[in-house]
Amino acid sequence: MTKTILITGASTGIGRATAEHFQAQGWNVIATMRTPEIGAELAQLDNVLVTRLDVLDQPSIDAAVAEGIARFGAIDVLLNNAGYGAYGPLEAFPMDAIQRQFDTNVTGLLAVTKAVLPHMRAAKSGTVINISSIGGKMTFPLGTLYHGTKFAVEGLSEALHYELETVGIGVKIVEPGMIRTDFGGRSFDFRNDESLEEYQPAVQGLMAAFDSLGGTASAPSVVAEVIWQAATDGTAQLRYTAGEDAAQFMAQRAAQDDATFIGGVKQMLGL
């Protein structure tokens, strides 16, 4: 029987590449996004349903899940991919922007998962794959909000792994490094207040580092292939890194104590 994956944030980047990869492998794909018109080309592919889902809008979540099940009969894999990165001095962020970062990356992920779980629980099978980041295991300066959300994704996913294993549902975490996506554009919320002079050296160092790391970023297809592995390898493996830089950073973080690793990041940023 043909399997089905529901993907959030499928309009571009990792979500789009994953939709195309799974469709090419013969799966049914429920490709969800806030603006379905962006997915017109995806919608032309066989066995692809493009529909609206905004992780901040519960009715849209419920409608997309119901439409996907009505179309394909099941949801075997949920990929929680929708999200963005908020960077900058904490003092530069108004509270509504802080709330939006956590609502999108954490609460929205939980809302979509909660909407799909009754279906998977009834089937006693399924896999939930959450897109975290190497930024869920390590941090850069000025990433208080983004890293806060990704550390949360790591923790909730690991706890959920215990919880859902008892009913036959797997949980996986994919941790990409720097990926050639629009993370630096529409998926990047950078705030700065130049009157906060004390933070400006960190701002300049971070921007230079991101430019440098971006030059060696992996293609979204690299992450799509790792997601495919996580969805189909039949193991209880919890975490998967994606990208050579992710593997290198994770190895360094595991091998070094806090002072050594943080010192290396500061040196890289010239702080």
User: Active-site residues: which are they?
Assistant: 132, 146, 150
SS3 call for 28? strand
CA–CA separation, 128 vs 42, rounded Å? 22
* Alpha helices, H only, the chain: 13-24, 40-43, 58-72, 95-102, 108-123, 144-165, 200-214, 220-232, 244-255, 258-268
Q: Are 226 and 174 in contact (CB under 8 A)?
A: yes
Whether 134 and 249 have beta carbons less than 8 Å apart is answered as yes
Q: Which strand ranges, in their side-by-side order, compose the sheet holding 28-33?
A: 48-52, 28-33, 4-7, 77-80, 126-131, 169-176, 239-242
Rounded CA gap, 121 and 117, in Å?
6
Give the position of tokens 């909730």: 156
DSSP state of 81: -
Numbers of helices and strands, H then E, in the chain: 10, 9
Q: Can you tell me which residue has the tokens 């108004």?
A: 94
Q: What are phi and psi of 169, to 5 degrees?
A: -110, 130
